[in-house]
Amino acid sequence: MSDVERTLSIIKPDAVERNLVEDIKKILIENNLIIKDSKKIQITKEEASEFYKVHQSKPFFNDLCSYLSSGPIVVLILEGANAVTAYRKLMGATNPKDADENTIRKLYGISIDKNSVHGSDSLKNAKSEIKFFFKN
């Protein structure tokens, strides 16, 4: 069974800085994910802390929030069949060195921190993450 879902993608500062936005968008489209909305923004460290609050007890939380707010990012709403799972598969493992061949993180990720992209991990989180960046 396939359900049409929406998920949130973030193209992180390392990928924006290396001009990878169009390459990543092309991969998304080629894999049947429709880009419903997209915008380039820069967020504050406070906003990053709010976005990643599920990770607030983790040792990497402070670095993670500093990093996400360190430069421009592109946030995207993706839509497609089973989009949450489909996009997570296309991103690959969190650590690029563990990611499968031809996944976005394998192709472009530099390290576990600079792993080029974020994706919602569940439909529930997708809804709240989309609302976080696209309030209307």
Determine the residue type at 9: S
Kindly state the smallest distance separating residue 18's Cβ from ligand CMP, in Å: 16
Kindly state the smallest distance separating residue 25's Cβ from ligand CMP, in Å: 18
Q: Determine which residue in the list 49, 69, 103, 115 makes contact with ligand CMP, applying CB under 6 A.
A: 115
Characterise 41 by phi-psi region: left (phi > 0), alpha (psi -120 to 50), beta (else).
Answer: beta
94 contributes a contact to ligand CMP by CB under 6 A: yes
2 contributes a contact to ligand CMP by CB under 6 A: no
- Which of helix, strand or coil describes residue 31? coil
Distance CA 90, CA 100 (A): 9
Return the sign of the alpha-carbon dihedral for residues 131, 132, 133, 136. Answer: positive
Task: Enumerate the active-site residues.
Answer: 118
* Residues at the contact surface with ligand CMP, assessed by CB under 6 A: 55, 60, 64, 94, 112-113, 115, 118
